[in-house]
Amino acid sequence: MAPSPLTYSVHATAHGAGTAEVALADQTMRVDNSWGASGPTGLPGPAELLAAAFVACLLKNLERASSLMSFTYDHVEMSVTARREDVPPRFVDISYEITITTAEAEHRVDLVHKNLRNFGTVFNTLAAACDVHGRMTKA
């Protein structure tokens, strides 16, 4: 028998257009819920939040793989670009660049990257919906 799926919950409140608050974990985050001509609020909107969830998945999975493989690194930087289209409204492409500072051999960096692609929940969910591609390079 398969184990029960994990459940994640968030709660949001908004009072009109502009800014909403989303409660997640033990934090409250302000987000942009404006539409159209109201102009930018400087807050993250749904697209940035999705890209942030994707990069958070990569970071968390890097820690998982590092622990399981005894892989050490000094520093990592990640950039994610999500492209969307309007008709139909959907993400068509997510690309990422990972630069890792490590003394590990190149084949071990490649193996960690393979693990990031295979075992990330958010990664796999998005990859099922659109093209996800990227690379991991050693600094």
Say which amino acid occupies 99: T
What 8-state DSSP symbol labels residue 130? Answer: S
Segments making up each domain of the chain, as ranges: 1-40, 46-138
At 80-130, the pLDDT tens digits run 999 999 999 999 999 999 999 999 999 999 999 999 999 999 999 999 999
What pLDDT sits at residue 38? 64
Strand-pairing partners, residue 136, are: 98
Name which CATH class applies to 46-138.
alpha beta
Quickly state the pLDDT bin for 18 (edges 50, 70, 90). Answer: confident
At 22-80, the pLDDT tens digits run 999 999 999 998 886 666 778 999 999 999 999 999 999 999 999 999 999 999 999 99
